[in-house]
Structure 1
Amino acid sequence: MNAFRRVAKVAATGIAGTVAGTSLGVGYLVASTTLVTPIPRDDALWKSKTLKKLNHLENPVLADICIKRIPLSKIRPELVEDEDKLTEEFARGVWTGWAFEPQRWLFTKIYRTPENSHLKFSRREIAGCTFELGTEFIDQFEVVERSRNEITVREGGSPRDLGPREVDGLITTTAKIDREAGEVELTLSTRFFKGGRRSRMGACRFLT
């Protein structure tokens, strides 16, 4: 769980390079990233139907939101005109980027079998993904929510494991074009919780 939270935070500092036409300095990447914690109780993050379904025991949730705003001039022109394509490219950057590479390599070694080899495991396969609803990759991730500018992936076990999991989680990538401000807002949020049994800490919807 903690490993994925670290991956999410590191990925958020490098997402600009994923969608930009030119590379940006490390100083800019770090300085322009906003980490939101604790998460306000009225934030849309908590309104996910999938979260309510998976965390039906209302166990404590560990959550982070990383936000980066990038000038439109830094974004590849073809992505500025299509928020859906921008969202896909952002997700590709997170799941094929250097921050996630160690986990992708390890999970491939552990979970790839002849029976599930048809799933997307390699960086190239994930890079060609459009993240439609139900898409599975590395046999540990499944797209469970999909809209024009948001993609939510469930993690914590094989997509074949449909029931409650000891450790469950949702990772959401969001891309929004703010033409009035002349910027793109990229958001990466994580929510992790115990799903298989009620936490000894007691029922609680919000804990950051």
Structure 2
Amino acid sequence: MADGRVERGNQTRRTVLERTMSIASVDGLEGLSLGKIASDLGLSKSGVFALFGSKEDLQLATVRAAVEVFVERVVRPVREEPAGLTKAWRLCELWLEYSGHRIFPGGCFFYGVSAEYDARPGPVRDEIAKARADWTRYIERVLDEARTAGGFRQGSGADEVPQLAFEIIALMELANAHSVLFEDGSAYERAGRGILARLRSVAAAPDELPERPPAIDGPTAAPTSSAAAS
């Protein structure tokens, strides 16, 4: 009986977080309300409060849940691939698919909540910053592994890696912002072309990278806010 209660609590938690991730990707983390979410999902308000305790706890749990989704969609599929720039490109391609296919209805979850919290100190901002820093470090690691495996042209040094990672992330996030604002899925192809050109510029064997990125079917409509949807 105790195990059953725990499992029901875990299932309720998963249900709530699926909803809060979708809401936050459109309306922001400040748009979350324990009472409204309980009402929307037909759950006990006291039960939801017992699981999360406060709005800040709910916001933190939402960010952590979004990290798990991101890792599952973008990071995990390439973990076992051999080091090289083809792995780096595949990682970027997965990110573009994650944003373009609207895994979260508002596009990249972390792009949106970063803009919301970048100048607001506190635990939620710290959690978002940690997620962003972990992602940047992972891209840098994949690129540096490609370099040490001989994937960079002769004369390229480790100092090129942080700059390359910065430019790649900038292209991906601009594609996300342009696509969400203008409902224009072609931004992902343009970003993909820019990323491939940048990777080829440092590659020892540029022919191993594709000439053009595959088309990503972007969204055809702007995300709907939770307020409008209700």
Q: TM-score, normalised by structure 2?
A: 0.27
Bigger RCO (CA 8 Å, 6+ sep): 1
Bigger fraction of residues in strand: 1
Quick check: which has more Rg, 1 or 2? 2
Q: TM-score, normalised by structure 1?
A: 0.29
